[in-house]
């Protein structure tokens, strides 16, 4: 019998720092438990889009993010319950080190905060290479730092030998923290990376399947799965109901804030995220609502068609965006800008999220029919929402390759990494938001767009530095900021209404 979302057994997989092996262990656990016949709900702390792709491959369910900065702490539980509805187990992969969160914001957006909000036990993945008894001191510090975080055990990674394992286990016995698994140093899984982290699943499908299978075998052989499942079942019950997209789009948005001037100044009222109403369990399918583009597919006359870019070049999208658009009355249809030479029939709006267009610049440029179709749609005034990679695609050129030319700007790769959370307010009325709408976002790129803002900028960024960025023109809203629409579901409602009236 399936567990209800409020009582689903759950584990948070954390680590003292990045690079300790969280993704290998979390993905391996998801795949190993799925292979045992359990319905496993995969989750990722923070804004990352890439790890959830591996989680989805491991479980057959869409990977979902739990981000207390982008969505507010009060939505972590409901979004978790939405994703975990009907599952036997949920595995949550942490971000960075256990206690690392948004810079200067204390525990906000940390794995520790999410574990507390979910009342979930934590399994600490510890890189044991180059140490033995010191592992116990490290674990003791993490266990005692915050008494509200329950570290239920550890999994030792990169252990060199039987003797090494025995020394570490003996030291951990004195701390009273059980060891749920040991992974040997020589058995690491090949997961290639590049300038923004792991290579996404969509770009290495067969190799990614092999990698996930290897993670499952490694973790299944080296970990006490029964013990971990028992630990997951010790999680506390959650009192919140699951987030529901249909109800969320009916929540009235807060009044807009004063609009910052274009010199980069911005207002300073306190952040007051929307508080969700009690919501009914999610009725939407776990794999999202977008359907693939079929060139001759029928148009649903009473529902505007929103084209959602996908494929290897545009892999960054939160599942809740498609769910919100559908709940707001749109028919969401995915298409691949690398392959499809036209937009889906009857397209009334376009959403182009993040990804790696810089890797596929030549192929995207070569698809001239689609570039022309996108430009014509934008020129006609249809709503177009573009984030990061989508912004680059709409530019005049990317690394010298012609793009859609919707925005009179040039994009290029750089060595500099722009990374971090952003507190922003809409500068200009757009198809997404009224001027003054407050949202939080995330930047993650090594590109630059020149100029960085148009005559009508998209956002006034309040933190970490004050500036304006992005472009609003006709129905286009294009920006580097990745946002999570569950925090402001009125964005989806406004977009769909603009699709109906444009």
Tell me how far apart the alpha carbons of residues 393 and 400 are, in angstroms, rounded to a whole number: 12
Other C-beta atoms lying within 10 Å of the C-beta of residue 17: 12
Helices (H) then strands (E): counts for the chain: 14, 23
Q: For the range 394-403, what are the long-range contacts, defined as Cβ-Cβ under 8 Å and sequence gap of 24 or more?
A: 394/352, 394/476, 394/478, 395/449, 398/357, 398/358, 398/361, 398/364, 398/365, 398/447, 399/358, 399/361, 401/361, 401/362, 401/364, 401/365, 402/365, 402/371, 403/357, 403/361, 403/364, 403/365, 403/371
For residues 164-194, b (16+ Cβ closer than 10 Å) or e, as one string? bbebbbebbeebebebbbbbbeeeebebeee
Are 202 and 311 in contact by the 8 Å Cβ rule? The answer is yes
3-state secondary structure of 276: coil
Looking at 71, 388, 404, 499, which residue is catalytic? 388
> What pairing do the DSSP bridges indicate for beta strands 395-398 and 401-402?
antiparallel
Q: Which two tokens stand for residue 69?
A: 């900065």
Tell me if residue 488 falls in helix, strand or coil.
coil
404 counts as catalytic: no
Phi, psi (deg, nearest 5) at residue 187? -110, 30
Runs of H (alpha helix) within 87-133: 111-118
Which of 418, 495, 431, 421 has its CA nearest to residue 458?
431
List, in order, residues 6 or more apart from 170 with CB less than 8 Å away: none
Q: Which residues are catalytic?
A: 388
């Amino acid at each position: 019998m399936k567990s209800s979302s409020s009582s689903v057994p759950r584990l948070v997989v954390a680590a003292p720092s990045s690079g300790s092996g969280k993704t290998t262990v979390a993905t391996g656990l998801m795949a190993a438990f799925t292979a045992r016949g359990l319905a496993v709900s995969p989750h990722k702390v923070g804004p990352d889009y890439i790890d959830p792709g591996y989680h989805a491959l491991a479980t057959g369910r869409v990977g979902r993010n739990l981000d207390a900065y982008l969505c507010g702490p009060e939505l972590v539980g409901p979004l978790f319950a939405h994703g975990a509805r009907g599952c036997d187990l949920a595995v949550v992969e942490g971000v960075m080190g256990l206690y690392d969160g948004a810079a200067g914001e204390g525990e906000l957006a940390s794995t520790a905060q999410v574990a507390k909000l979910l009342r979930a036990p934590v399994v600490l993945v510890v890189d044991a290479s180059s140490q033995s008894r010191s592992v116990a001191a490290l674990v003791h510090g993490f266990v005692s730092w915050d008494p509200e975080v329950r570290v239920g055990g550890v999994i030792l990674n990169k252990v060199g030998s039987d003797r090494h394992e025995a020394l570490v286990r003996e030291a951990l016995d004195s701390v009273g923290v059980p060891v749920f698994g040991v992974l040997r140093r020589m058995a690491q899984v090949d997961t290639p990376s590049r300038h923004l982290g792991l290579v996404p699943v969509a770009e290495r499908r067969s190799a990614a399947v092999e990698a996930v299978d290897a993670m499952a075998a490694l973790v299944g052989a080296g970990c006490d799965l029964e013990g971990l499942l028992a630990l997951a079942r010790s999680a506390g019950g959650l009192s919140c109901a699951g987030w529901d997209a249909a109800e969320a789009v009916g929540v009235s948005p807060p009044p807009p804030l004063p609009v910052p001037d274009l010199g980069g100044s911005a207002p300073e009222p306190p952040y007051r995220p929307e508080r969700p109403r009690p919501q009914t369990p999610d009725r939407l399918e776990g794999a999202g609502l977008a359907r693939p583009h079929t060139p001759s597919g029928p148009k649903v006359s009473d529902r505007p068609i929103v084209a959602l870019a996908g494929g290897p070049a545009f892999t960054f999208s939160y599942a809740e965006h498609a769910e919100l658009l559908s709940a707001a009355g749109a028919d969401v249809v995915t298409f691949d800008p690398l392959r499809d030479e036209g937009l889906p029939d009857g397209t009334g709006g376009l959403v182009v999220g993040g990804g790696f267009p810089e890797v596929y610049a030549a192929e995207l440029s070569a698809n001239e029919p689609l570039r022309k179709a996108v430009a014509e749609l934008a020129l006609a005034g249809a709503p177009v929402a573009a984030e990061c990679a989508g912004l680059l695609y709409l530019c005049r050129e990317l690394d010298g390759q012609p793009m859609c030319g919707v925005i009179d700007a040039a994009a290029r790769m750089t060595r500099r990494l722009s990374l971090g959370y952003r507190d922003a307010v809409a500068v200009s009325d757009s198809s997404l938001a009224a001027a003054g709408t407050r949202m939080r976002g995330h930047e993650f790129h090594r590109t630059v767009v020149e100029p960085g803002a148009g005559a009508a900028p998209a956002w006034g960024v309040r933190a970490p530095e004050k500036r304006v960025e992005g472009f609003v023109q006709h129905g286009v809203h294009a920006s580097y900021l990745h946002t999570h629409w569950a925090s402001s579901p009125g964005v989806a409602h406004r977009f769909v209404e603009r699709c109906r009236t444009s």
